[in-house]
Chains A and B, each alone.
Chain A
């Protein structure tokens, strides 16, 4: 095992480091990292920020917001907590929380903290949650990310993750909220920095990990990954919204016509739905599939729509009207 010291408190740098290791460096043995952050909220990959975060509080207190690569719920972290990352070569693409959690549990036990694993793959002390975990599996690698609370600001945590039940919606992953507790209750004479040092030493002793460092060039490269992959705008953009574009119009003599669609980076249709109260024998699935994969350009779309409506017209609707609705 390799132990990689992480000094940065910038969550985007540290997520970029994880991403770099998994997708570019591709180590041949497991890599372990322990790190902390400035006050930060981390959303699960398929969560909707407006359902999980108290945005005014986060803005007023300059709390960083970022979206993880891994699944699960939203967490709050600060310098009173400690994040651990375990990246393991994984040929069979299997979800496995037990190996990472057993390692952390052993290390915690070694420094006098009696933690146990519960059914949600959380670590608990006396039934109260002290650590949550999530994973991201790519071809050949498993990333296990966990968060330990030592002396985190639980008041800020409660306020930043305040949930408005009115905003709860389907089609996203919702957080499961449990009673949390700081580990300082177990070791009241320690600071968060002492806890991190003690945990690091325990983990190195258990795993016999060799310490390694990134090169200056690799560190520079991480800044670009952080900007590209972990920018704040990705947090507030819903990752689970079914359609990015919804164009709707009431056309006299025809009725309501609505096209909803998504485009990829090459401006190709990746999803499309045509709905409305119009009269037609048009096979909607056939129509939608005719456009999927095509480039969102009028010269490309217009002939397809003309051909489809020649086969099955929508009563009173000219192909140009439907084409116009897509732009």
Chain B
């Protein structure tokens, strides 16, 4: 089953984030709590963790992209 990963709300002040870098690549196994990627907003770098156990299927955004809360950023194949 494919689960979608959407951009969570990380800041009370802003819903628009600068996409920093991926910590997991397509094909990598991921566990709940593993860091998937990091973003920047309001001069703060935040790491975003996986909420699923599975395999990272696809990355939908890249370094330098602007992403908004709720945007699809990745898919994870879960058992």
Chain A, 231-252, contact with B by CB distance < 8 Å: what is the 0/1 string? 0000000011110000000000
**By the criterion CB–CB under 8 Å, are A93 and B47 in contact?**
yes
* CB atoms of A137 and B44 under 8 A apart: yes
Task: State whether A135 touches B44 (Cβ < 8 A).
Answer: yes
Q: Closest Cβ of chain A: how far from B45's Cβ, in Å?
A: 5
CA distance A46 to B21 in the complex (A): 9
Interface residues of A in 121-148 (CB under 8 A from B): 121, 132-139
Which parts of B1-36 form the interface with A (CB within 8 Å)? 10-12, 18, 20, 22, 25-28, 33, 35
Interface residues of A in 213-257 (CB under 8 A from B): 239-242
- What count of chain B residues pass the 8 Å CB interface test? 26
B41 within 8 A of A: yes
Given A69-B45, A93-B46, A271-B62, A139:B33 Cβ within 8 A: yes
Binds B, one of A9-17, A31-39, A70-78, A308-316: A70-78
- Which residues of chain A have a CB within 8 Å of any CB of chain B? 44-46, 69-73, 93, 95, 97, 120-121, 132-139, 170-173, 239-242, 264, 268, 270-271, 289, 292-293
**Known A71-B44, A95-B42: A270·B22 in contact at CB below 8 Å:** yes
Interface residues of B (CB under 8 A from A): 10-12, 18, 20, 22, 25-28, 33, 35, 40-47, 49, 58-59, 62-64
Tell me the interface secondary structure of chain A in the complex: loop
Chain A residues with CB under 8 A of B22:
270
Q: How near does chain B come to A75, taking the closest CB pair, in angstroms?
A: 11
Which residue of A has the minimal Cβ distance to B47?
A: A138
